Amino acid sequence: MYFNSKLIFQEYELWRLVTNFFFFGSLGVDFVFHMFFLSRYCRMLEEGSFQGRSCDFFYMLLFGGALLTAFAPFVNVQFLGTSLTFMMVYVWGRRNASTQMSFLGLFNFTAPYLPWVLLIFSTLIGSQPITDALGMIAGHAYYFLKDVYPEMTGREPLKTPAIVCALFGTRRRLVDTNGVQTRAARRARRDAVAAVEGAVGAPRELNE
């Protein structure tokens, strides 16, 4: 069940690429801690920036899982479920930057700092910080490539493939995760405006 690159690539036990994401440790404080944040922030992402966009949510998880799997052999991590949880926490925090939060009523902070607060707390209760840190790295990579880089360059390297959307019975939207028009949407809007202007301009020329 655990991730082992030797068994995967030499013994072809390919199921380990998936099963390692479903183990969160033995029952204890750390297990309850990660289960709570998995259920909470997975739901908040689905009901928030991914509402009605299951294919995009799945593609985010697919990207995060692939990136974490690529990191795993170099950091000797056997289970990546907690890392994927922290990835979702990181993405939610970034997309809700103005949300005020409180940790156990001790101090207040804004949502982007939530992963760091949880990382410190998780370390204090005995969890391995490297697994949570990997999730934050994957989350930052997704956030940058999906939200920041397109705004800087107009390119969308993490656009959900049409085949993934087809699996969920949905079409790719022309609006990104933050409700900002994509380049395709802007291009479609310009074409529509040009068509209207051409239709309006034609009778005017005939009258002249």
pLDDT digits (tens, 9 = 90+) for 158-186: 888 888 888 887 655 544 444 444 444 44
Are the C-beta atoms of 175 and 48 separated by less than 8 Å? no
Average pLDDT of the segment spanning 143-157? 91
**Taking phi first (over 0 means left), then psi (-120 to 50 degrees means alpha), and beta for anything else, what does residue 168 get?**
alpha
**Residue 192 domain-assigned?**
no
How many whole angstroms separate alpha carbon 87 and alpha carbon 62? 12
Q: Is residue 5 part of a domain?
A: no
Joined together, the tokens standing for residue 188 give 């479609």
Total number of domains in the chain: 1
- pLDDT value at residue 165: 86
Q: Domain for residue 204, yes or no?
A: no
pLDDT of residue 173: 52
Average pLDDT of the residues in 98-115: 86
In a domain, 197, yes or no: no
Enclosing domain of residue 125:
25-180
> Is residue 192 very low, low, confident or very high in pLDDT (cuts 50, 70, 90)?
very low
